[in-house]
Each structure stands twice: as C-alpha cells, then as structure tokens.
Amino acid sequence: MKAIVVTDQAAGTAGMTLVERPDPDAARLASLAGASYGDVVVDVHASGFTGNELEWPSTWIDRLGRDRTPSIPGHELAGVVSALGYGTTGLSVGQRVFGLTDWTRDGTLAEYAVVEARNLAPLPGDVDFTVGAGVAMTGLTAWQGLFEHGRLQEGQSVLVHGAAGAVGSMATQLARAAGAHVIGTGRAADRQTALDFGAQEFVDLENEALEDVGGVDLVFDVIGGDIQKRSARLIRAGGTLVTVTGPPEARPADGLAIDFVVVSDRAQLGEIAQRVRDGRLRTNIGTVAALDDAVAAFNPTERVKGKTIIRVRP
Ligand SMILES: NC(=O)c1ccc[n+]([C@@H]2O[C@H](COP(=O)([O-])OP(=O)(O)OC[C@H]3O[C@@H](n4cnc5c(N)ncnc54)[C@H](OP(=O)(O)O)[C@@H]3O)[C@@H](O)[C@H]2O)c1
C-alpha cells in the first residue's frame, strides 16, 4: 500500500515521505496469531492529520516505549471496513465508518489502516468521507472539552481560543448550540470566520486586550502559554479552564484547570454525524489533497485556514 511515513522527529513535516508499505495481513488478523484482537482493516477514503502530531511522543514510540519508526502519522479517518480481526464486535465488512486510531500505532495517511473496532462509529451514507474525517478529531475534542471536562451549561459564557481553527470552530458551534455565550479569539484575519461559526464576540489576540472580555465560566484553550495564563485569571469562581495543549501552566484562583487527550467515542461520533447531517455542525475543511500530494499539502508555503484532509480514494 501507499503510505506517508516519518522517521526523523527533528525534520518535522518536511521529513514526510510517500513510500510503499506492506498491506495489512487480513488472514493473520482473522487468526489468533497476532496481538490484534478486535482490530479491523479500514480501506481509508479520507484521512486527517493534526498540525503538531510530529511533536507528540506517541508518534515515535509504541506503548512499551520502543522506537516504532518509520511511523505512519494521521489518526483521523473515514473509510470502509474491509476485514475483521479475531474477536471484532459491532462492525461488519463493507460498513462505512469514521473515528480515531490509536496514537501509538501506525495511523491513517495510508491506503489501509488497522484500527480497534471500538474506536470507530458508523458513518451515515449521506455524510461524505472527507466530512467524516474532518469532524472526527475536531468534533470529539470540542465535545469532550466543553461538555465532559468543562461541564458547560446553557446560559454560561465560554472563551474559545483559536475559534477559527480546526478544533475551535467545532467548539464555537457546539457551545453556541448548547445555549452558551461564546467569545472567540484568534488572529485579526480570523474574526469573520469565528463570527460565522457562531461566536457572539471576538478578541483579536494580536491587537486587542483579552482582559476586556471580563469574567467567563469556561475557557477552552488550544493555544497554551501566556494566553492560557492570562485566560485563567478571567475565570469566575467555580469556573473551569480546559486545555488540549498539555499540562495546565495556570489555574483559576477559585476553579478547576483540566487538560485532557481526546478519546474516540462511538456514541459521541454518532451525535456529531447527526449534527452534520441536519446542518447544526459545519466542517472547517481548508485543503483537500490526494495521498500523492499529501507531503506538499502538509508543507504549505502560505498560511492554511481550516483542516487539511487527504482524500486517499477518489
Ligand atoms: N489534547 C487533545 O486531545 C487534542 C486534540 C486535538 C487537538 N489538540 C491540539 O489543539 C491544538 C489546536 O489544534 P487545531 O487542529 O485546532 O489547530 P489549528 O486549526 O491550527 O487551530 C488553532 C487556531 O488558533 C490560532 N492561534 C494559534 N496561536 C495563536 C496566537 N498566539 N494568537 C492568535 N491565534 C492563534 C491559529 O491561528 P494560526 O493558524 O494563524 O496559527 C488557529 O486559527 C494543537 O496544539 C493540537 O495538537 C489536542
């Protein structure tokens, strides 16, 4: 199969190369010969990659901490199940699916991906594969950050950083639909995009004072650093700072600071797909490129807006 691999962390996305790799061994998966209980093979139709994945330790090591290079990056996918591993439950061959793959295993920038069935959900027939791949990671991250970790309630105010970005645009829409007051942030050029996704206010972090927003109940942070520290000071008593950038560097004076890593969740993926179908959730996809052009797509010469999706099969 064709796949993108990385071998050198220091090289970043410039070190991505398109190579031939062995196809998954369906017969071995169907037997008890390998440690592949409950895995399925997915014919990848569309694949997503998160911008700083090559900085994550899991891109380079397996669960036992061993070097796993050359690794196939990308952990977001939509495709069709083509083979079942021994012990698979809940999915069948020929089924359209979408979801996330294990961080510490080969990913989705390839013609086939081997994934634990429990990490996938059915993708309705009227939702395009590109859309499915575009909302899996971003939608789940936003959902879990707002509702599981942030416990967002109707009528609360939420500061969504990077509101025009891949995760932030999903958080903006979901928070607004939940009846929250949404203040988006980003760069000057992102204002209209954030407002179009449903933010009621916008703070241009490069030219405006974040502190002018006053108090908020929840901060959804995708930026970290100084922005996170200043945001923590805006949180009202009993409020929460949720971040996806790693261990929090700041805590609200009288509230919680939570960092989390997104987990695939079949029920939540189903809810996300339903919202896409009925128009309550819009994707934020910028570039769509073929696998042959993926290396160039992930090494753009100009600033990219929205998520880049690799359309592996036409
Ligand atoms: N923990 C988890 O489970 C999890 C899951 C998904 C994503 N993440 C992390 O979340 C982060 C965001 O991911 P994403 O896919 O949403 O990225 P993205 O599409 O690049 O979105 C980030 C947005 O924030 C803006 N931004 C970043 N720094 C800024 C600054 N200093 N001032 C103003 N605007 C700024 C970006 O603008 P520019 O494009 O101009 O920089 C972009 O619009 C990444 O670090 C990713 O690894 C974590």
Which residue reads 């645009």 in tokens?
169
pTM of the model: 0.97
Report whether residue 284 contacts ligand 1, using a CB cutoff of 6 Å: no
Kindly report the protein residue whose alpha carbon is nearest to atom 43 of ligand 1: 165
Binding site membership of 223 for ligand 1 (Cβ less than 6 Å)? yes
- The contacts of residue 219 (CB under 8 Å, 6+ apart) are 158, 159, 161, 228, 231, 232, 234, 235, 239, 240, 241, 242, 243
User: Which residue do the tokens 């209209």 mark?
Assistant: 192
Residue 283's pLDDT band (cuts 50, 70, 90): very high
Cβ(205) – ligand 1 distance below 6 Å: yes
Between CA 143 and CA 267 the distance in angstroms is 11
The answer to whether the beta carbons of residues 135 and 281 sit under 8 Å apart is yes
Sole residue written with tokens 């109707």 = 154
User: Alpha-carbon Rg of the chain, whole angstroms?
Assistant: 20
Per-residue pLDDT reduced to its tens digit, 38-73: 999 999 999 999 989 999 999 999 999 999 999 999
Nearest CA to ligand 1 atom 15: 166
User: In this predicted structure, what is the pLDDT of residue 220?
Assistant: 98
Please tell me if the CB atom of residue 13 comes closer than 6 angstroms to any atom of ligand 1.
no
The distance from CA 67 to its chain's CA centroid, rounded to whole angstroms, is 24
Top mutation candidate among 49, 138, 148, 167 for ligand 1, by most atoms within 8 Å of CB: 167
- Kindly state if the Cβ of 48 falls inside 6 Å of ligand 1: no
**Given this model, what pLDDT does residue 27 score?**
82
The CA-CA-CA angle for residues 121, 127, 129, to 5°, reads: 75
Which CATH number applies to 2-123+284-311? Answer: 3.90.180.10
Note the pLDDT of residue 240.
Answer: 98
Tokens of 15: 């070190």
Q: Provide CATH 3.40.50.720 ranges for the chain.
A: 136-259
Q: What is the CATH number of domain 136-259?
A: 3.40.50.720
Q: Is the CB of 167 under 6 A from ligand 1?
A: yes
| 216-221 and 235-243 beta bridge pairing | parallel
CB of 51 closer than 6 angstroms to any ligand 1 atom: yes
160 and 205 in contact (C-beta within 8 Å)?
Answer: no
Distance CA 159, CA 210 (A): 10
* Residue ID of nearest Cα to ligand 1 atom 20: 165
pLDDT (0 to 100) of residue 1: 98
- Decide whether any atom of ligand 1 lies within 6 Å of the 287 Cβ: no
Q: Which atom of ligand 1 is nearest to the CA of 137?
A: 6
**How many whole angstroms from 230 Cα to the centroid of ligand 1?**
17
- The Cα 276–Cα 75 span in angstroms is 20
Atom in ligand 1 nearest the alpha carbon of residue 141: 5
Cis amide linkage into residue 70, ω under 30° from 0: yes
d(CA 313, CA 294): 13
Tokens representing 305 are 């807006």
The boundaries of every CATH 3.90.180.10 domain in the chain are: 2-123+284-311
Identify the pLDDT of residue 301: 92
The pLDDT confidence band at residue 118, using thresholds 50, 70 and 90, is very high
Residue 302 burial class via C-beta count within 10 angstroms: exposed 0-12, middle 13-18, buried 19 and up: exposed
Q: Which atom of ligand 1 is nearest to the CA of 52?
A: 47
- 160 CB near ligand 1 (under 6 Å): no
Query: Does 244 sit in the ligand 1 pocket, CB within 6 Å?
Result: yes
Give φ, ψ of 104 to 5 degrees: -100, 15
283, 128 in Cβ contact below 8 A? no
DSSP-derived 3-state class of residue 10: helix
Candidates 204, 228, 230, 217; CA nearest to 175 is 217
